[in-house]
Structure 1
Amino acid sequence: MTRLTVWHDGDCPLCRREIAIMRRLDRRGAIEFIDATSPDATCPIDRRALLARFHAREDGTLLSGAAAFAAMWRAIPVLRPLGKLARNPLALRLMERAYLGFLVVRPRLQRLLGGRDAV
């Protein structure tokens, strides 16, 4: 089984909601979710950099952005087809462009949901 660790922003209302959904879908417990805002969280890179983008470690490889989402999706059976699609370089590039667009609006969405500004 693939070992997967996902770091998330526990102070972000969007992230909290998404991670709650992913936890429910991860019935096999294949993903270790780490709140990077926790003072005792072990972060593989600078905490601010970790919170600025979505990160995951799949079988020892640190992934960021759309690649990290795809790794998480591959670990959840119902989302696995989407995660496998991202193994295609063109599909992954398109997903990364969409993710970069999301990062532009993320601070506004956080404010609307009552969270703090993105780092």
Structure 2
Amino acid sequence: MTSIRAKLHGIPDLGNTRYDSFKAGLDPTTYPLTLFYESACPLCNAEMSNLMLRDTEGHLRFADVSAPDFTDVPAGATMQDLLALIHARTADGRVLKGIEVFRLAYEAVGLGWVSAAMRMPLLRPLAEWGYPVLARNRHRIPRGFVRLLFEGAVRRAAERSALARCDGGSCSR
């Protein structure tokens, strides 16, 4: 399956395997990790664009549940579940949801410090409580505010992605 990242951004599909994830120090039973998200949601789309650009090693796959041709509902979940909270499917088929999905996605793209912060004793319960509240109200967040939140991060991710893009033994900027 060609990743959405490859289709949307013209980034080559790296053909990630479990072995590639193992070499990168990631759990090969988890990666590649497929993220199920709603691109019709400006906040969700901005965060996934950020992750797509940072995923230069191809540890993540992206599945837009709001796409008209989407049919890949993971076992144990419903379409309504996927639209309510972010879900992911691990390389070995486990289905995860909520904050755990973000934690694993951030680890995959080199943002381990964000993942570690989400495990801290004070922040973890706050994140686990706050994410469902945010998810329920995400469509109420104005696009301008989302742009303000993510514009710098997406720009930096795009710059890093461009630096990391190599073809035929030479890297281009």
What corresponds to 1:105 in structure 2? 137
Report the equivalent of 1:48. Answer: 80
Please provide the CA RMSD for this pair.
2.2
Paired with 1:101 and 1:51, the residues of 2 have a C-alpha distance of 14
Match of 2:38 in 1: 9
Residues 9 and 15 in structure 1, CA contact (< 8 A), matched pair in contact too:
yes
How big is each residue's C-alpha offset from its partner over 1:55-83, in whole Å with a ceiling of 9 and x where there is no partner?
Answer: 11234221111111111111111x12322
Are the equivalent residues in 2 in contact too, given 1:56–1:72 (CA < 8 A)? Answer: no
Residues of 2 paired with 1:29 and 1:88: CA distance? Answer: 27
Residue 76 (str. 1) matches residue 109 (str. 2)? yes
Aligned to 1:117: none
DSSP 3-state at the match of 1:39:
coil
Q: State TM-score, norm by structure 2.
A: 0.56
- Give the letter for the 2:105 counterpart: M
**Runs of 4+ with >3 A deviation:** 84-92
1:38-59 Cα offsets, whole Å, 9 max, x none, are: 2332111211210110111234
Contact 2:42 2:139 in 1 (8 A): no
In structure 2, relative to structure 1, the CA distance for the partners of 1:54 and 1:89 (3 Å cut) is farther
Residue 93 of structure 1: aligned partner: 125
Unaligned runs of 5+ in 1: 115-119
Matched, 1:22 2:22: no
Higher RCO structure, 1 or 2 (CA under 8 Å, sep 6+)? 1
Sequence identity of aligned pairs in percent?
Answer: 32
8 Å contact from structure 2 (residues 41, 139) kept in 1: no
User: Normalization by structure 1: what TM-score?
Assistant: 0.78
> What is the match of residue 157 of structure 2?
none
Residues 63/104 of structure 1: CA separation in 2 closer, same or farther (3 Å cut): same
